[in-house]
């Protein structure tokens, strides 16, 4: 009850504060932030975007001198939150936590009311690498075994948490690269898919390296490769896709923070400095490095380029494989 009501009041007061007409003057910029800032999360509480943002919000509060409210606006496969921030006042008080799926959505859907150009990118912080896993029960022991199965007439069965997810698109891209063919089986979420994999009902999947590490330690599945450029701390014996000759299979469950387009540069800079400092803090390292979080701070031009490359890459995969969605 307490939580319910507090959330409601905080959200309501933040909403009221933001709807006030804000003078976008130099004076406002110099005093930024003069009231609490909201991080808008596109998923319900409990996801990685939520956990990371809540931790960062705590870290940078002292630096900014203002509370950061983490505001979960789930819905529309992160597009409800995306649209909210894209159409907000460009004053730096509503910040979107953009994910790779958020980027994929902008090229997947025809009639979204916004696109990536509607954002002023603040900072990309990096993310979690993925892992190529096969069932612990299967005969597939190496990448060569897997390629052989994928090239067989029946192909290989692979799971994901639904069409258009990064795991689905990564598998499609990987199969194209090795010249194999596969049958996609959609699950409600990764754990359900991984259980089916463990039971031998499907053959291959791309969970995050973190999930893979837990389950391979238990013998449920075998990890053949990770998608990060370097080996990860939780799976030191597993080769990277680069080592195995597939450097393009480098998908990452990535996170970045976006302001609405037109936000003053000084405000973007202020936020980018604060968030970067939070990511580089000892406390952040201590919590997220054991989970194989790959820090990759990007700002300005390189960040915009990263986002454009990601969008183009997945657009190609989507077009080539005809996974375009219509409403």
Partner 1 sequence: MLDNLALGLSVAFTFQNLAFSFVGCVIGTAIGVLPGVGPVATISLLLPLTFGLDPITAMIMLAGIYYGAQYGGSTSAILLNLPGEVTAVVTTLEGHKMARAGRAGAALTVAAIGSFFAGTVATLVVAGAGPLLTSVAMAFGPAEYFSLILLGLIAATVLAHGNILKSLAMIVLGVLFGLVGTDLQSGQIRFTLGFPQLFEGVGFVPLAMGLFGIAEIIRNLECPENRSGTVSRVGKLWLTKDEFSRSVPSVLRGTALGSLLGVLPGGGLALSTFASYMLERKVSKHREEFGSGAIEGVAGPESANNAASQTSFIPMLTLGIPANAVMALMIGALMIQGIQPGPRMIDEQPTLFWGLIASMWIGNLMLLVINLPLVGVWVSLLKVPYKYLYPAILVFCGIGAYSVNNSAFDVYQTVVFGLIGYALIKLEFEPAPLLIGFVLGPMLEEYLKRAMVLSRGDVSVFIDRPVSAVFLALGALALAAMILPSIRRRKEEAIAE
The count of C-alpha atoms lying within 13 angstroms of the C-alpha of 105, restricted to the half-sphere facing its C-beta, is 21
Residue 244 gets the label, from left (phi > 0), alpha (psi -120 to 50) or beta, of alpha
Segment contacting partner 1 by CB under 8 A, of 121-129, 214-222, 254-262, 305-313: 214-222
Listed in sequence order, the residues at least 6 apart from 27 whose beta carbon sits closer than 8 Å to its beta carbon are none
Within 18-37, which residues bind partner 1 (CB under 8 A)? none
Beta strands in the chain (DSSP E): 37-41, 68-72, 94-99, 119-129, 131-135, 156-160, 182-186, 204-205, 221-226, 252-260, 294-298
Per CB under 8 A, the list member of 28, 29, 35, 54 interacting with partner 1 is 54
Residue 158 gets the label, from left (phi > 0), alpha (psi -120 to 50) or beta, of beta
Per CB under 8 A, the list member of 24, 184, 261, 277 interacting with partner 1 is 184
Per CB under 8 A, the list member of 192, 230, 248, 305 interacting with partner 1 is 192
Contact status: 114 vs partner 1 (CB under 8 A)? no
Within 70-89, which residues bind partner 1 (CB under 8 A)? 71-77, 79-80, 83
- Report the alpha-carbon distance of residue 315 to residue 293 in Å, rounded: 26
Per CB under 8 A, the list member of 31, 44, 65, 245 interacting with partner 1 is 44
Listed in sequence order, the residues at least 6 apart from 34 whose beta carbon sits closer than 8 Å to its beta carbon are 28, 66
Contact status: 46 vs partner 1 (CB under 8 A)? yes
Least spacing, CB of residue 304 vs partner 1, in Å: 26
The residues binding partner 1 (CB under 8 A) are: 1-5, 7-8, 11, 44-46, 50-51, 54-55, 58, 71-77, 79-80, 83, 108, 157, 161-164, 183-188, 191-192, 194-196, 198-199, 201-202, 210, 213-215, 217-218, 220, 287, 290-291, 323, 325-327
């Amino acid at each position: 009850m307490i939580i319910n009501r507090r959330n409601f009041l905080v959200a309501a007061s933040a909403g009221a504060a933001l709807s006030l007409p804000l003078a976008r003057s130099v004076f406002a910029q110099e005093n930024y932030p003069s009231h609490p800032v909201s991080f808008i999360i596109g998923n319900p509480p409990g996801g990685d975007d939520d956990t990371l943002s809540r931790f960062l919000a705590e870290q940078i509060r002292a630096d900014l001198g203002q509370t950061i409210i983490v505001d979960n606006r789930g819905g529309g496969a992160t597009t409800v939150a995306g649209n909210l921030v894209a159409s907000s006042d460009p004053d730096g008080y509503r910040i979107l936590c953009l994910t790779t799926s958020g980027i994929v959505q902008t090229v997947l859907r025809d009639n979204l009311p916004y696109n990536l150009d509607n954002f002023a990118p603040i900072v990309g912080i990096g993310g979690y690498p993925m892992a190529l896993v096969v069932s612990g029960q299967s005969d597939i022991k190496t990448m060569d075994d897997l390629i052989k199965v994928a090239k067989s007439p029946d192909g290989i069965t692979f799971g994901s948490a639904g069409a258009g997810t990064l795991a689905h698109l990564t598998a499609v891209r990987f199969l194209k690269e090795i010249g194999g063919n596969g049958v996609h089986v959609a699950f409600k979420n990764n754990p359900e898919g991984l259980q089916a994999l463990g039971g031998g009902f499907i053959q291959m999947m791309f969970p995050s390296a973190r999930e893979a590490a837990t389950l391979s330690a238990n013998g449920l599945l075998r990890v053949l490769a990770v998608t990060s450029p370097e080996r990860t701390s939780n799976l030191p014996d597993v080769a990277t896709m680069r080592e195995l000759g597939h450097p393009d299979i480098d998908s990452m469950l990535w996170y970045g923070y976006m302001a609405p387009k037109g936000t003053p540069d000084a405000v973007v800079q202020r936020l980018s400095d604060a968030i970067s400092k939070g990511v580089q803090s000892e406390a952040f390292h201590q919590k997220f490095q054991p989970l194989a979080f790959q820090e990759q701070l990007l700002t300005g031009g390189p960040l915009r380029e990263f986002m454009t490359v990601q969008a183009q890459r997945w657009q190609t995969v989507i077009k080539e494989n005809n996974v375009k969605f219509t409403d």
